Amino acid sequence: MAIFMQAELAGVTTEQYDKLNAKLQSLPGNPFEGCLAHVAVPTASGLQIFDLWESEQALQRFNEVVMPVASEVGIPQGGTPKTGQVHNYWVPGA
């Protein structure tokens, strides 16, 4: 079952996010495996992240990879993300 995740990253800049993303992309394998969609939105207080994952297990595997890398690039661990099971999603033209 697909899982939606929303995280608010207070105080995180787009530069920090870009550095994190570059490090994740340089890792061997595919740390994003199971991610169906990802959006990062700058806000007045930091960033909001919206993800759609194939399963809760895929999201958990990604979290095991992203958390140490985020710490390495100076992104503090924030609050608990909001998650929920997806009832329906579609991609136009797919």
| Confidence tier at 92 by pLDDT (50, 70, 90) | confident
Which pLDDT belongs to residue 59? 97
pLDDT given for residue 33 in this prediction: 96
pTM: 0.89
70: containing domain: 3-85
For residue 52, CA distances in Å to 6, 15, 44, 62 come to: 9, 23, 24, 12
User: How many domains is the chain partitioned into structurally?
Assistant: 1
**Beta bridge pairs of residue 52:** 4, 37
Please check whether residue 51 lies inside any domain of the structure: yes
| Residue 91 within any structural domain of the chain | no
d(CA 48, CA 7): 6
In a domain, 49, yes or no: yes
CATH number for position 18: 3.30.70.100
- Residue 33 — φ and ψ, nearest 5°? -55, 130
* pLDDT, tens digit, 9 for 90 and up, residues 28-60: 999 999 999 999 999 999 999 999 999 999 999
Distance between CA 41 and CA 1 in Å, rounded?
A: 25
More confident residue, 61 or 90: 61
Q: Is residue 46 part of a domain?
A: yes
Q: Does 16 map to a domain? A: yes
Quick: pLDDT tens for 7-26: 999 999 999 999 999 999 99
The token pair at 4 is 């939606």
pLDDT at residue 79, as a whole number? 82
